[in-house]
Amino acid sequence: MSKTVIHGIYDDEEQLLEGVTQLRSQGFKITDVFTPFPVHGLDHAMGLARTRIAITSFLYGITGTALGTLMMWYMMVHDWPTDIGGKPSFAYYMNVPAFVPITFECTILCAAHGMAITFFLRSWILPGVTAKNPDPRTTDNKFLILLESGDDKLGGIQSVLKQTGASEVNLKH
């Protein structure tokens, strides 16, 4: 059975949300949705799982805290303890207030960059990557639902798209 690729193109994000909801409730599988800006409630309507990217940021952050602490302990206390301004560095706890700012900066540095890099890799957004949006207008003003279907469901999908206000329905065999 040959698969047909369907582009349901909307002009309005509210109609798009309606279309996505209708398609899903009637049991049609949506491959992907492309929008020019973040549409609120779309991830919920599509049934996307919550992103865990904020959790990674927390993990990178505590890694940064640990690395910063380790660095300062090694350099100021372990490797070459120095007595600066009558404030000897014989133990980490003796100097801890002075270490707070850099510990904080290391935390932020790792949390921000780690998360950004994870985002770029996970979504595969990197220099030289070819864009995957099937229609160039989806970065401008069009909202596109991408579906794949066999001939049996084609009619049903098309009618839902039309009913919910799609301005264009394009088929690619």
From 2-10, 107-115, 152-160, 163-171, give the range in contact with other proteins by CB under 8 A.
107-115
Residue 96 binds other proteins (CB under 8 A): no
Contact residue for other proteins among 6, 10, 138, 161 (CB under 8 A): 138
Footprint on residues 5-64 left by other proteins (CB under 8 A): 13-14, 32-40, 42-43, 46, 48, 51, 53-54, 57
- How many C-beta atoms surround the C-beta of residue 19 within 10 A? 24
Residue 133 binds other proteins (CB under 8 A): yes
Q: Residue 67 burial (CB < 10 Å; 0-12/13-18/19+)?
A: middle
Q: Which of 62, 89, 61, 96 is nearest to 75 (CA)?
A: 89
Residue 65 binds other proteins (CB under 8 A): no
User: What amino acid occupies position 30?
Assistant: I
* Chain mean position to CA 34: 14
- Indicate the residue among 125 and 171 with the shorter CB distance to other proteins: 125
Write out the E strands in 11-152. 30-34, 83-84, 87-88, 143-149
Q: DSSP letters of 41-65?
A: THHHHHTPPPP-HHHHHHHHHHHHH
Q: Give the residues lining the site for other proteins (CB under 8 A).
A: 13-14, 32-40, 42-43, 46, 48, 51, 53-54, 57, 71-72, 75-76, 79-80, 82, 84-85, 87, 89, 95, 98-99, 101-102, 104-106, 108-109, 111-113, 115-116, 119-120, 122-133, 136-141
